Structure 1
Amino acid sequence: MMGGRSENPELWTFLEALHYGQLLSGTVAAIERFGVFVALDEGPGHPVFPGVGFVTVPDLSWRRIEAASDVVRVGQRVSGEFLQFDTWNLEARLSLRALLPDPFQAFADSIAVGRKLRGQVTKLVPFGVFVQVADGIEGLVHLRELTRTPVPAPSDAVQVGDEVTVVVTEIDRERRRLALSRRQASPEHR
């Protein structure tokens, strides 16, 4: 624990006054495996960390990224929406992606259930495969929707990098999930 109000009264007061959705700007001070520290333009510095602002990797971008360095670099100017005051670490949790248009919603506007799409297999999981159907947009093909004849594992049907044709079976805007079927995309053989 960083210590409470008494040890860092100025920082505590600054963080307590922030409200959800408020815009904060600063400079990327350090990039860690778990996220990015941002030295804020306003407010005091941090007694321990390189910056008072902190952005977790998922809050950097709408797309799935491997590392924070795919999106930002040290010294870069950034703006984010304030999410919460982390009282344990005495930091302001920020979201950079909150200020960017969500590509999923734009994609959902352009398609409908039943639509055929071409995509590339990006990941195999025990219950199915993820297929990228547009830039930054992935959908799940459940194992039972992968093939006409059931297979025990996704790797029996496809590999990462394979091009596949799929049909959109469900669009969940709220959870930003796309359900796809490869089985329903192939013509019926009687």
Structure 2
Amino acid sequence: MGGLPEHPELWAFLESLTPGEALSGTVAAIERFGVFVALDEGPAHPLFPGVGFITYPELAWQRFDKASDVVHVGQRVTCEFLQFDTWNLEARLSLRAMQPDPFQEFADRVAVGQELRGEVSVLVPFGAFVRVADGVEGLVRRQDLTTGPAVADVVRVGEEIAVVVREIDLGRRRLSLSLQQERPAESR
């Protein structure tokens, strides 16, 4: 669409929005590329089911398989306005921004070196992700798990294991873990 000037009312509405502002509306459609929201305020979109749009990463802090695990058509939502997408004439929104960040809350109460218990949630070629709190997963690297051919030989999805916090990277929202018995010695 490229910022169609023939929709001056919509353009003016979107330009009037401020990043961080809360906008309410109703989930109008769930697509494979994101979620459309029909906003309570402002004009309708000339082509799309809603002026508001939420990309998948902005739906929730937690991992999910499909958008319908988080929202459903007809659901009322309040989102944070991120930016005016001038190409599509959309208000880019974040639903997760309206919820506390579980990673930040975790980082505020946990320290490097702390022992935790968690459930193995996903096995990947480079290690295993372990859920240590609601919405918080950390990676135990493959080399910390096994020298054998497969991570699955050591841990299974759903298994509860003891881990140690190696690193908390707030900027990248990454948590590095090791197995409790693999904790590095003081002399290393």
Partner of 1:38, secondary structure, is strand
Aligned to 2:160: 163
Number of residue pairs aligned between Structure 1 and Structure 2: 185
Aligned to 1:30: 29
Aligned to 2:97: 98
Partner of 2:57, secondary structure, is helix
Q: What are the within-5 Å matches in structure 2 for residues 30-179 of structure 1?
A: 30-147=29-146, 150-179=147-176
Tell me the amino acid that sits aligned with residue 26 of structure 1: G
CA RMSD of aligned residues (A): 1.9
In structure 2, what is the Cα distance between the partners aligned to 1:116 and 1:183? 7
TM-score, L = length of structure 1: 0.89
In structure 2, what is the Cα distance between the partners aligned to 1:81 and 1:163? 36
- CA 1:86–1:177: 2 relative to 1, 3 Å: same
In structure 2, what is the Cα distance between the partners aligned to 1:53 and 1:33? 16
Partner of 2:91, secondary structure, is strand
Q: Could you tell which deviates more after superposition, 167-176 or 41-50?
A: 167-176
Deviations 1:140-174 (A, max 9, x none): 00111114xx2333223222222211111111122
Q: Give ranges in structure 1 of 5+ residues lacking alignment.
A: none
Percent sequence identity over aligned pairs:
69
TM-score, L = length of structure 2: 0.90
- Tell whether the 8 Å contact from 1:39 to 1:52 is kept in structure 2 after alignment: yes
Q: Give ranges in structure 2 of 5+ residues lacking alignment.
A: none
Tell me the amino acid that sits aligned with residue 173 of structure 2: R
- Tell whether the 8 Å contact from 1:61 to 1:97 is kept in structure 2 after alignment: yes
- Tell whether the 8 Å contact from 1:119 to 1:131 is kept in structure 2 after alignment: yes
Aligned to 1:21: 20
Deviations 1:59-107 (A, max 9, x none): 1111111111111121111111111111221111000111111111111
- CA 1:21–1:187: 2 relative to 1, 3 Å: closer
In structure 1, what is the Cα distance between the partners aligned to 2:55 and 2:3? 23
Structure 1 residue 40: Cα displacement: 0.6
